[in-house]
Structure 1
């Protein structure tokens, strides 16, 4: 993965002293140094706890969040009776917000911190101004919007056609990609909510995957033991989204 040509001098970033934090989000790291310097003064770093709601349906998305390290934000569709199903997840390869370029920016779904961790935050209006000044930013976000739409579309297919076991493997693989270790901070209840199924269903799937030696369950987290086995068990949806992402954003993807 290309990490850009960011300066090693923290003073270059006009008050944002933690340059490594800027590089920790791959979407930001893909920007040339001069472009990154343009938006760095407007960024701030926050540590968000699991369950933090970033916006609700209909809210104006006035902040754009860039997850770093193992932080993951889920985009959820919410039904009238309050049930939720995940449409997409965003880790350090992307951003929640910042896709709409002008005017009112109402959210269609709910954004929730699924796995706690540090994020970089910028006012969306500041990001929009930077897009107008810097075509590279606008181009990067346009391509990222396409990749995010592909993830949403593939989730529709996966949820409609594939069994829970394969869907669970897809979620574990995507989350493992964004983790710094083989440990994923995840409860069965959380996974059930993401997949839109009962906890007992997820419990049965997890036991099956553990019996096959693919994962190991612990209190409050899951350990990936055999990633190749998870990929073999998973449906084609995981790889389809990964392949499309690499085509659109090769400078953001890992080598």
Structure 2
């Protein structure tokens, strides 16, 4: 696995700059823009944000990049901004199924602060974009202060667990058509547009089904006038229609995120 380039964003503490310094305003604007790139970043109080800011690195998250494998010790935790990361469980025969997705609402690597240094799942970028990373030791140190960051991360973890459990229920009891719509809506909630680039094979791997099943489900949804699908490019034409067509699982997950986490910033 090849790591991509990353850059430390803030080599110095901008809060110690003089307000008369010509770079002060620009630095403040830059850190505000950064804070708004991820929901959890946005919700961190200023004192804790000041401690974390010098340790934040920007990183490219290309399609298919593996952030961690089962049993791998995690050196960093990732906060996606424009990318989406899929958490997968892989079987011995090579097949896999998605258990959750993480985008600009959250963090990849919760096992770091939940008492373990590794996990049994696999994290793969399913939609290319950018993100930020922090050394695991730095975030764990902040978490162990038992302050606002700890409470924020624990609430996020509860919401993520809800997504995982609801995904398991959905995959067992609802049609592939409904699962496909749920997956589309969860992805859209984490993107800034109504366009997704995703091959049938990748969607099949995410949902744990055969490619033919994905084709059939996509054609049904397209025939209903809700999406336009061609060569891995999905354009959502009717979001409200998707919400009506999917099962209750999407709303259960969305409601739990809305309940547990502070109001989302406008992107």
Residue equivalent to 1:4 = none
Shift of 1:62: 2.2
How far off is 1:144 after superposition? 0.7
Instruction: Work out whether residues 21 and 68 of structure 1, in 8 Å CA contact, stay in contact via their aligned partners in 2.
Output: no
Contact 2:57 2:133 (8 Å CA) reproduced: yes
Is 2:165 the counterpart of 1:153? yes
1:50 to 63, 70, 74: 63
CA contact (8 A) 1:102 1:128 kept: no
**1:76 & 1:28 partners in 2: Cα distance?**
24
C-alpha separation in 2, matches of 1:25 and 1:101? 19
Unaligned runs of 5+ in 1: 1-9
1:25 — aligned with what? 38
Bigger CA radius of gyration: 2
Segment drifting more, 114-123 vs 212-221: 212-221
For residue 102 of structure 1, report the CA deviation from its aligned partner: 7.0
Q: Deviations over 1:225-254 (max 9, x none)?
A: 011111111000000011111111133477
Judge conservation of contact 1:99–1:145 (CA < 8 Å) in 2: no
Q: Aligned match of 1:180 in 168, 174, 192?
A: 192
State how far apart, in whole Å, the 2-side matches of 1:107 and 1:191 are.
23
3-state DSSP of counterpart to 2:144: helix
Task: Specify which of 11, 16, 19 is matched with residue 14 of structure 2.
Answer: 11
Q: Deviations over 1:107-165 (max 9, x none)?
A: 11100011111010001110011123360000001111111111110011001111100
What is the aligned length?
245
Candidates 111, 117, 124, aligned match of 1:112: 124
The equivalent residue for 1:6 is: none
Query: So what's the TM-score if we normalise by structure 2?
Result: 0.86
Shift of residue 104 of structure 1? Answer: 4.3
SS at match of 1:171: helix
CA shift for structure 1 position 180: 1.0
Is contact 2:42–2:265 with CA below 8 Å preserved after alignment?
no
Q: Deviations over 1:30-78 (max 9, x none)?
A: 1122221110111100111111111111111221000002x10011001
User: What residue number does 1:62 align with?
Assistant: 75
Measure the CA separation in 2 of the matches of 1:156 and 1:165: 16
2:78 and 2:114 mapped to 1: Cα distance? 17
Maintained 8 Å contact 2:79/2:107: yes
Over the residues paired in the alignment, what is the CA RMSD in angstroms? 2.2
CA distance in 1, matches of 2:66, 2:186: 21
Q: Work out whether 1:196 is the aligned partner of 2:199.
A: no
* Aligned residue number for residue 4 of structure 2: none
TM-score, structure 1 length as denominator? Answer: 0.90
Q: 2:112, 2:136 within 8 Å by CA — same for their partners in 1?
A: no
Sort the Cα spacing of 1:98 and 1:205 in 2 relative to 1 into closer, same or farther, 3 A. Answer: closer
